[in-house]
A and B are shown apart, each in its own frame.
Chain A
Amino acid sequence: MKADYRPDAVIGHTLVDVKRRTDTVNTVRMALMQLAYALSDRDSQSAGFLVLVDPKITPQRLLDEQRYAQRTLNPKVAGRLHVITYHNGEFHGLPHTFNPTDRGELLRLVEQVLEMGGTRIPSTRIYYELLRVLVHQWLRNNGPMTADWLATKTGCSYPTVAKALEQLGPAIKRLSDRRFELAYFPKDEWARLVAVSDRMRSTMRFADRSGQPRSPDSLLQRVQQFDRPDLAIGGVFCARHYYPDFDLIGSPRLDLTIHCPGHYADLTFVERLDPALEKTKDSREPAKLVLHFIRREDPLFEKRTNGLNWVDTAECLLDLHEMRLESEARDFLNSFPVARGKV
């Protein structure tokens, strides 16, 4: 948690974590601890702001929580940790020493969070981010990579990369120049990821409420009109891009992946895509739109000159598994020369 924690923003020397409409003390406590860990790694100039936008917790309860934290934490860290609330356009608890330029930037950050509709995307296990990148690199036959490269792409630390490589054991082929790549498709690790992929990718499912569902093709045509470089097409449509002989007529749904290296994703496009779409938690209900989220630094989207990007091969494979298209997922995997006959 310590090394891989990423705040929503760093303004000057201040780490900022923004939480909207928080209603549980546990969320506040966890956020304070994360900021405290991060501050303990930094110089004494740095500070940590936990900004609570329109919190649902009473001011007294928040004050109590701050006092507990101050009593518990090392004073060198606790003194630099601030809980700030934002309500009706006003900050409360902002230190007087915080300069006006940085204040403006903080305000812009909060407004951005509010404009985005405040859809908070939870953190995921970085190990699975690393695994997906490794699989993608292997399927695309992109050759060996360095730990620095992988750390940069995923936004994690070198020790985290080292630990992940160790966990993958013999599936990692190490070269004499310290570069590495997958030796084979890590079936067991992949199966573990598939089992938790909806959680790891913060998957959201949207069902039709009109009684006249738009076809996934219609949704695809429409989403292409949006200027959203953070969106990429996955699922069956993407599988056909990587594997033109993909053997499935039509598509049961539209899968999109959103790149959100911060904590918040802008989902306002869903209403524009189709006002009939409503988020559902019932996994048995047929979804017409499924959103997945990538938190890593580089989404590895395949760029297109016209229309939305494609997701990487590993995301696409996960989408097929999530749709229970197991035989098609196997064919998709085998369509890559490096995997043919080896998986």
Chain B
Amino acid sequence: MSDTKEVMKLVSPGSVLAQIAAAIPADCRRNLTIIGSLAVGYHFFGADNTVMVRTKDVDCLLSPRVEAVLSGVAIAERLLQDHWQFRHDARWSKPGDANTEDKNLPAVRLHPPGIQDWFIELLTVPESPIDQRKRWLRLKTSAGHFGLCSFGFLSLANYQPILTPLEIHIAKPQMMALANLLEHPMIRPETMSGLIDGRAIKRSNKDLGRVLAIAHLSIAREDDTLLGWPVQWLPALQVCFPHDWHALARRSGDGIRKLLDSPNDLDEARHTCEFGLLTSQPPNTEQLRIVGRRLLQDAIEPLEKMA
């Protein structure tokens, strides 16, 4: 969920997940779900260490929220004890302290010892289904104070996660796709703070590009897999957003439709796929557009109709 100035690095999802699983205290694993590109990469490429994806941050979602602070502190302490290092950047050179406002606290972003290619970032689920704004919980550790961020539709990524053989959960790709679809009902102008292979990219295009990448990988595994998504999405929406699920389902395709209608935005999405999850076999813009149209027909339109 964070940005960097440097190009994202090629990493093997299987090997990174194994390192994380080994580092997380066993009694905290049940509270942690890996989300984002590493989870997608692991889901599709599994233990095949020859397949690489480009990423830089490994997003770790802590839940339930009432246990998130305790788990977050325990994980951070354990990693720091194992010589994981605080990731400095231009805005945050060190952890906060008791005087730092919640909103100015740095996230828990830690590099494994001796590895600068990737880092983990701790997040948590929103407090209530009606609060989608960015919120911070304070984590007090021996190294200083950190912020545990929650926002948007992260609870969907936490819906019925998959337990891997590494005894760590990863989010279902289709749930991450739904979370991103709902997060971006339009193409907002804000760009990522870092460049992706030299290009400034709108965050909406990066996240909606992720949706297309997930759909592309899913289709590669099985022709008609997208047809099964709406029947999985619907109960997830009903559980996570019991009051708003109708409205959310009905607008689930707004952003992707806008993306497909805008050649420049679609090209940005393609760029993020090429320098992200689909780096092994990047699709061209037309192929990505087809993925989007298939997604609309097979998954989004049926969901909209159900609502």
User: Given known contacts A272-B297, A275-B293, is B224 in contact with A221 (CB within 8 Å)?
Assistant: yes
User: Given known contacts A210-B287, A211-B283, A211-B287, is B224 in contact with A276 (CB within 8 Å)?
Assistant: no
* Complexed CA–CA distance, A276 and B219 (Å): 13
Name the CB-closest residue of A to B281: A211
- 242-274 of chain A: CB within 8 A of chain B: 272, 274
User: Given known contacts A209-B286, A210-B287, A211-B287, is B294 in contact with A276 (CB within 8 Å)?
Assistant: yes
- Since A211-B287, A272-B297, A276-B290 are in contact, a sample of 12 more A-B pairs with Cβ atoms closer than 8 Å, ordered by chain A residue number, is A209-B290, A210-B219, A210-B287, A210-B294, A211-B283, A212-B219, A212-B291, A214-B224, A218-B223, A218-B224, A221-B224, A276-B294
Determine whether the beta carbon of A274 is less than 8 Å from that of B287: no
User: Given known contacts A272-B297, A275-B297, is B223 in contact with A214 (CB within 8 Å)?
Assistant: yes
* B220 contacts partner chain A, Cβ-Cβ < 8 Å: yes
User: Given known contacts A272-B297, A276-B294, is B287 in contact with A209 (CB within 8 Å)?
Assistant: yes
Residues on B with C-beta less than 8 A from A211 are 283, 287
Residues on B with C-beta less than 8 A from A215 are 223
Shortest Cβ distance from residue A85 to the other chain B in the assembled complex, whole angstroms = 33
* Complexed CA–CA distance, A211 and B285 (Å): 12
Q: Can you identify 8 A-B contacts, CB atoms within 8 angstroms?
A: A209-B287, A210-B290, A212-B216, A214-B224, A275-B290, A275-B293, A275-B297, A276-B290
Residues on A with C-beta less than 8 A from B297 are 272, 275
* Complexed CA–CA distance, A214 and B223 (Å): 6
A261-303 to B contact mask, C-beta < 8 Å, 1/0: 0000000000010111000000000000000000000000000
Shortest Cβ distance from residue B63 to the other chain A in the assembled complex, whole angstroms = 34
* Complexed CA–CA distance, A215 and B286 (Å): 20
* Complexed CA–CA distance, A212 and B290 (Å): 10
Residues on A with C-beta less than 8 A from B223 are 214-215, 218
Shortest Cβ distance from residue A2 to the other chain B in the assembled complex, whole angstroms = 47
Name the CB-closest residue of B to A273: B297
* Complexed CA–CA distance, A212 and B286 (Å): 12
Residues on A with C-beta less than 8 A from B220 are 212
Residues on B with C-beta less than 8 A from A276 are 290, 294
Chain A contacts to B: CB under 8 angstroms = 209-212, 214-215, 218, 221, 272, 274-276
Residue with the highest number of chain B CB atoms closer than 10 Å, among A210, A215, A218, A221: A210
Residues on B with C-beta less than 8 A from A210 are 219, 287, 290-291, 294
* Complexed CA–CA distance, A272 and B283 (Å): 22
Residues on A with C-beta less than 8 A from B216 are 212
Residues on A with C-beta less than 8 A from B224 are 214, 218, 221
Shortest Cβ distance from residue B304 to the other chain A in the assembled complex, whole angstroms = 16
* Complexed CA–CA distance, A244 and B223 (Å): 26
* Complexed CA–CA distance, A214 and B220 (Å): 10
* Complexed CA–CA distance, A147 and B106 (Å): 89
* Complexed CA–CA distance, A209 and B291 (Å): 10
Shortest Cβ distance from residue A277 to the other chain B in the assembled complex, whole angstroms = 9
Residues on B with C-beta less than 8 A from A274 are 294
* Complexed CA–CA distance, A173 and B220 (Å): 55
Determine whether the beta carbon of A275 is less than 8 Å from that of B294: yes
Give the 3 A-B residue pairs with the shortest CB-CB distance, closest first.
A275-B293, A210-B290, A218-B223
B143-183 to A contact mask, C-beta < 8 Å, 1/0: 00000000000000000000000000000000000000000
Shortest Cβ distance from residue B223 to the other chain A in the assembled complex, whole angstroms = 4
Shortest Cβ distance from residue A197 to the other chain B in the assembled complex, whole angstroms = 30
Residues on A with C-beta less than 8 A from B286 are 209
B277-307 to A contact mask, C-beta < 8 Å, 1/0: 0000001001100110110010000000000
Name the CB-closest residue of B to A213: B223
* Complexed CA–CA distance, A52 and B283 (Å): 42
Residue with the highest number of chain B CB atoms closer than 10 Å, among A209, A214, A275: A275
* Complexed CA–CA distance, A224 and B287 (Å): 25
Residues on A with C-beta less than 8 A from B287 are 209-212
Shortest Cβ distance from residue A206 to the other chain B in the assembled complex, whole angstroms = 13
Residues on B with C-beta less than 8 A from A209 are 286-287, 290
* Complexed CA–CA distance, A215 and B293 (Å): 17
Name the CB-closest residue of B to A208: B290
Residue with the highest number of chain B CB atoms closer than 10 Å, among A212, A214, A221, A274: A212
B1-19 to A contact mask, C-beta < 8 Å, 1/0: 0000000000000000000
* Complexed CA–CA distance, A272 and B296 (Å): 11
Shortest Cβ distance from residue B299 to the other chain A in the assembled complex, whole angstroms = 13
Shortest Cβ distance from residue A168 to the other chain B in the assembled complex, whole angstroms = 45
Name the CB-closest residue of A to B296: A275
* Complexed CA–CA distance, A272 and B298 (Å): 10
Residues on B with C-beta less than 8 A from A212 are 216, 219-220, 287, 291
Shortest Cβ distance from residue B60 to the other chain A in the assembled complex, whole angstroms = 31
* Complexed CA–CA distance, A274 and B293 (Å): 9
Shortest Cβ distance from residue B224 to the other chain A in the assembled complex, whole angstroms = 5
